[in-house]
Amino acid sequence: MSVVVSDTSPLHYLILCDSVEALPRLFRQVVIPPMVFQELQQPRTPAPVRAWVQSLPEWVQVQAPTTLDRSLAVDPGELEAICLALEIKAAALLMDDRAGRTAAQRCGLAVTGTIGILEMAASRGCWIYGKLWTSCTEPMRASTSSYSRGRWSGMPHDGKESMAG
């Protein structure tokens, strides 16, 4: 199992959909940068998300990138997540934001969003599709390309084969 870096929205929506426990079944560790940690605690963030981040599970680690490539035209959370993923050579970056995904892919990172995570979990038998539609309390902002392909952008599947395509 691999190590991935997550931006805010995949964690936010997986928590709200009661599906965040799929992550430790798919990955050994999820690393989040400090800005993502802060964004998950904002006053406007739904209470279940804020509660989850106050008691992070052992498979989540907060780590700051040592350098930031400010030439990337993305928001601070995406910037930290991209730079951290590059720095620790993460297997993938979990991100929904289109501009962030594009910047990450240009940096050579494998990227997937919330829908891709749910699809991977379903394909491995650790998530039921119906749960998404009955549990989500907010609409999801997912990349059309991620949803339509139903694939990870170059993400290694079990670390052995590519699911791209």
Q: What is the pLDDT of residues 10-69, one digit of tens each?
A: 999 999 988 898 999 999 999 999 999 999 999 999 999 999 999 999 999 999 999 999
pLDDT band (50, 70, 90) for residue 132: low
- Which pLDDT score is estimated for 159? 40
Considering its fold, how many domains does the chain have in total? 1
- Which pLDDT score is estimated for 127? 54
Contacts of 50 (CB under 8 A, 6+ apart): 40, 41
Average confidence (pLDDT) over 125-147: 48
Domain that holds residue 114: 2-162
pLDDT reading at 139 higher than 80: no
CA distances from 124 to 23, 81, 117 (A): 12, 26, 11
Average confidence (pLDDT) over 83-107: 96
**Between these two residues, 114 and 150, which has the higher pLDDT value?**
114
In this prediction the pTM is 0.79
Q: Tens of pLDDT along 99-109? A: 999 999 999 99
CATH number, residue 147:
3.40.50.1010
**Between these two residues, 129 and 31, which has the higher pLDDT value?**
31
- Which pLDDT score is estimated for 124? 81
Question: Using CA atoms, how far apart are residues 112 and 101, in angstroms rounded to an integer?
Answer: 8
CA distances from 19 to 26, 63, 71, 114 (A): 12, 23, 34, 10
Q: How many CB atoms lie within 10 A of CB 129?
A: 10
pLDDT band (50, 70, 90) for residue 119: confident
Half-sphere exposure of 34 (CA within 13 A, CB side): 4
29 — phi, psi (to 5°)? -150, 145
Nearest alpha-carbon partner for 32 in 77, 68, 1, 63:
63
% of the chain residues with pLDDT over 70: 75
